[in-house]
Amino acid sequence: MRPAQSIEQAVGMRYYVSDGDGIGGRLRASPEDFVVRELEAFEAEPADADSGAYAHLVVRATLHNWDTNDFASALSDRLGISRERVSWAGTKDKRAVTTQLFSIADADAADVPEIDGAEIDVVGRAGRPVLFGDLAGNAFEITVRDVGRPEGVDAITEQLREFAGSADGDEPTVAVPNYFGQQRFGSKRPITHEVGLAIVRNDWEGAVMAYLGNPNEREPEATQAARAYVQETHDWEGALERFPRALGYERALCHSLADADNASPAAFRSALETLPTNLQTLFVNAAQSYLFNRILSERLDRGLPFDRPVAGDVVCFADGDAPADLPLPDTDRTQRVTAERVDTVERHCERGRAFVTAPLLGTETELAEGEPGEIERAVLADAGLEPTDFALPGEFDSSGTRRAVQVRSRIDVQRREEDAIRFAFSLPKGSYATVLLREYLKRDPAQL
């Protein structure tokens, strides 16, 4: 292992599991260098199916340099419908070429518009919308350019094979800790988890100020100045004059507080509730992700395995409906591993039938036992939290779940040019391509 970048450590990712020096390089020199294709897990009827019984039109869109939310808004605008009638299975990066499913409520195939930078094909009709999570995973073809040490690839790949427990086999399978990637928290200003932790502690003022304040040197000077001003003065009207108009969420918070009768906890909570519901949920999810990352880093610190359980671990079993070449954890089917069952469950893990997990903490979380449980309780105690603290109002509430601690993938690595390398691999839904690639590049995420 070797220490991670400081900005990664700030969100709980304390280590790389490979010791070799990074190859350097940069991602997304052009959108075509970052190609993502959804591995679909949604069934649709033919396009000529009865629209009364199957009210949702399903389309497959290949997007060039489009943010998923922005495309959904553009699609709804062109159709003249509410944005709420458009839904999708997974949000993708903007500077990329992405292929994914969308559904449009009460639309006909003939209505599908042409949109610049998008190729839209009708798939069929469905009786319900495509919902977040309606995919098995994503297939990636990513070209890293300006590589400084291309000769370092093989050594890193071998170390990641060892981490997967596959170094003695012929299958080119690698693995990494299933960290939540930097983009979960903010690549340049990682603060969403700080907002979420304050919410879970019922510190509504702290949550608002974590979002409004905290100037970061990676931001434009005008933005830094506005954050410093509001952090020092709590002058909401003055902050509105200083925050750039592009920072709409910051301005919405300031508007709400400027209109409030007083700066009470209720006023700060009300301000947060003016933000989009998906952003409110994201804050608490980011707090859960941060704690999960810390649990994984502590597991690495203690030398516990990731590919197999120890006594006290909680494992989940594989999703029986997943594609044969992409085993998926089914976190609704879990089992605590006793000392007597370790060997049996280890064999299940070796065959891809079970996965060691850690908690995404919430009100219904049952912690592990033994040393894994010690880690989970220590991280919670250090954060000053209990699972019951996640019983929160509205969109902030979370019952929690569990998540696999390791993510594995077959990988194909090809030298394209003298300073360019292409990586091709597939990951289950919820896992981050950048978490795998960081092991190879070992660069500050903001410089990628």
List active site positions: 93
Q: Check: CB of residue 101 under 8 Å from CB of residue 58.
A: yes
Cβ burial, residue 187 (10 Å; 0-12/13-18/19+): middle
**Residues making up the chain, counted from first to last:** 448
Rounded distance, CA 183 to CA 282, Å?
Answer: 12
Extended strands (E) in 199-337 = 314-318, 329-336
Q: How far is CA 438 from the centre of its chain?
A: 15
Extended strands (E) in 290-417 = 314-318, 329-336, 354-360, 401-404, 406-417
Is the four-CA dihedral 143, 92, 284, 289 of positive or negative sign? negative
Phi-psi map region of 247: left, alpha, beta (phi>0 left; psi -120 to 50 alpha): beta
Please state, as a whole number, how many other Cβ atoms lie within 10 Å of the Cβ of residue 325.
9
DSSP state of 338: P
Bridge partners of 355, per DSSP, are 316
Rounded distance, CA 441 to CA 443, Å?
Answer: 6
Alpha-helix runs per DSSP H in 12-136: 68-79
Q: Which residue has the tokens 């992405």?
A: 98
Q: What is the token pair recorded at 27?
A: 């991602």
Extended strands (E) in 41-196 = 56-64, 86-88, 97-105, 118-126, 135-147, 173-177
Non-local CB neighbours of 356 within 8 Å, separated by 6+ positions:
305, 306, 307, 308, 309, 313, 314, 315, 349, 404, 405, 406
Bridge partners of 137, per DSSP, are 39, 428
